[in-house]
Structure 1
Amino acid sequence: MHDSSDVTTRTSTVDEWTRALAGTNGSPGGGAGAGVMLAIAASLMSMVAGYSERADGQSERRAGGESSDLSELRARAHSLREDALRLADEDSAASSAFGAAYRLEKGPERDAAVRAASVDAARASSILGRRASEAVDDLELLALHGNPALIADVVVALGALRAAITGARTNVSFDLAAVSRAGESPEQVREENPEVWSSVTLFDQARDRIDAITAAVDDRAAPTDHE
């Protein structure tokens, strides 16, 4: 049995990591889960890009007209997978600090600790969500121009990416609200953390795009639904 503090996305098996997630320690928690979902999306993107590169042997073109070689897309997906796992572990550390702050006795020291931990947790989720949002363009390219035999894998990647962004959005909102509950007004929280605050709108936009992409390929991904 591993202590949850020793469990990481890079050194633990899937069984060990999910066992820790299922525990009551809170680290890893939902934010780290969002990171793992992002890693799953990135891994599927890399796989689809690899098969698409084999099938075409040529560069694809983004909607904006910029040339995008599939090998470069695959390299970005590989980098995203590594970043996602790192961010998942960083979120676990932020969750530990968050929990430790709430376990302090009520008073000014606890309030200060909660504020600091909440801001750190919100920033960690914001970074993860922004990294996830950057992947929407590449995933859209694969959905529209990737190897059609792997469209189901693309849809799974879309779902995983959406889950990662939704998790980041919710955690950012919750953690910033925790700062307010610890004694700061919402206006003050927004002024002190403008980039983190604005990320919620960015994540909403990214989710809308994912939903539109998923709907656009649904007739190819699940044709039996339309018989």
Structure 2
Amino acid sequence: MNDSHAVSTHGSTVEEWTRALAQSTGSPGGGAGTGLMLAVAASLMSMVAGYSEADERDPMEVERIRMRAQSLREAALRLADEDASASRAFGAAFRLERGPERQEAIRAASLNAAKSSAVLGELALDALDPLAWLALHGNPALVSDVVVAFGALRAALAGARTNVSFDLASLRSGGKDLDEVREQHAELWSTVRRFDDALDRIDTLTASIDHRAAPTAAADQRDERGTESSR
């Protein structure tokens, strides 16, 4: 498949989609890749939940997480395809002749792109608590899959955070400074701060289980010292 405009997450193979991503067309681009990373995180979350036993304190929690993950995967793929379409509009705006029409087209495309990235990032935030629950209560044999899911989720949030920020900054093409843009779109800008906080939380959660997923000699020594001190 040579026409990158024809690819979609639902109608293309992974090879076809990533080949289109590798082309210098921008559609699909980083935003669509962000959606795909969120779909990967959601898929792993569903898999781990399926292998985990229900917590006796809340026997329905595992099933809720699994159903939420499946819904999230579908939404993430849909948003990935929608972002690919938005990227084409964004590129078309920048190819217009300089003038008021071009500035307005860039403003509209930038704002739409920022909103789209914010929606995707908010979906990623929804995955954080369920994945944190699985890190503590999920099947311990799949802790490495939880770490990989955290990595994919971090990539999705980082992508959403960066894309919202970049797209808002593109609104300066009309002569406004960044402070004006942030003031006019305060709600969108607030998502950037929330995504920053979520990235920090993911790093903390990943670090808290990394010794279980990828034990090292140093970790083994710490465990041994802990065991000896408890005797």
How far, CA to CA, are the matches of 2:79 and 2:176 in structure 1?
Answer: 27
Could you tell me which runs of 5 or more consecutive residues in structure 2 were left unpaired when the two chains were aligned.
Answer: 221-231
What are the within-5 Å matches in structure 2 for residues 1-227 of structure 1? 1-52=1-52, 56-59=53-56, 69-224=61-216, 226-227=219-220
Q: CA deviation at 1:214?
A: 0.3
* Paired amino acid for 1:222: A
In the superposition, the TM-score normalised over structure 1's length comes to: 0.92
How far, CA to CA, are the matches of 2:171 and 2:119 in structure 1?
Answer: 18
* Paired amino acid for 2:44: L
In the superposition, the TM-score normalised over structure 2's length comes to: 0.90
CA contact (8 A) 1:60 1:70 kept: no
Counterpart position of 1:64: none
Identity across matched positions, percent: 62
How far, CA to CA, are the matches of 2:7 and 2:185 in structure 1?
Answer: 30
CA contact (8 A) 2:54 2:61 kept: no
CA contact (8 A) 2:135 2:209 kept: yes
How far, CA to CA, are the matches of 2:180 and 2:9 in structure 1?
Answer: 35
**How many residues are treated as equivalent by the alignment?**
219
CA contact (8 A) 1:60 1:145 kept: no
* Paired amino acid for 2:102: R
Q: Looking at CA atoms only, which structure, 1 or 2, has the larger radius of gyration?
A: 2
Q: Render the CA deviation track for 1:32-89: whole Å, top value 9, x for unaligned.
A: 101000000000000000000xxx244555xxxxx86101110000000000001111
CA contact (8 A) 1:59 1:68 kept: no
Q: Render the CA deviation track for 1:69-119: whole Å, top value 9, x for unaligned.
A: 101110000000000001111111111111000000111111111111000
Q: CA deviation at 1:182?
A: 3.2
